[in-house]
Amino acid sequence: MNGDKTIRVGSFEYVIDESGGTDLAALARSIEDAMNQRRVITLAVLDEKRNRATLYLNGATADAVVLDLELPPRPGQMAP
């Protein structure tokens, strides 16, 4: 999943499906809202074979969600 923006929920990792012009800032806010309000949201993702799928994220049961938007390196990090 090199160079892709990803979401990890528990031990599962998916690529964010950006084919529909995904607003990544809005996506991050949706995930945060789902976690804070303990509700379910749907996310367009690609599985490990790059097939389109829908991820149902349950903010009431997910203990952690990692959203990797491939931002530039921070000070002290080396660029790839």
**Chain-wide mean pLDDT for the chain?**
88
Question: Phi-psi region for residue 74, left (φ > 0), alpha (ψ -120 to 50) or beta?
Answer: beta
CA 11 to CA 18: how far, in whole Å? 22
Return the pLDDT at 80. Answer: 58
Q: Residue 21: pLDDT band by 50, 70, 90 thresholds? A: confident
Beta carbons within 8 Å of 80's beta carbon, 6+ residues apart: none
pLDDT digits (tens, 9 = 90+) for 26-38: 999 999 999 999 9
| Section 57-74 average pLDDT | 85
Nearest 5°: the CA angle 16, 32, 14 is 20
How far, in Å, are 15, 29, 31, 47, 64 from residue 39 at the CA level? 22, 13, 10, 23, 14
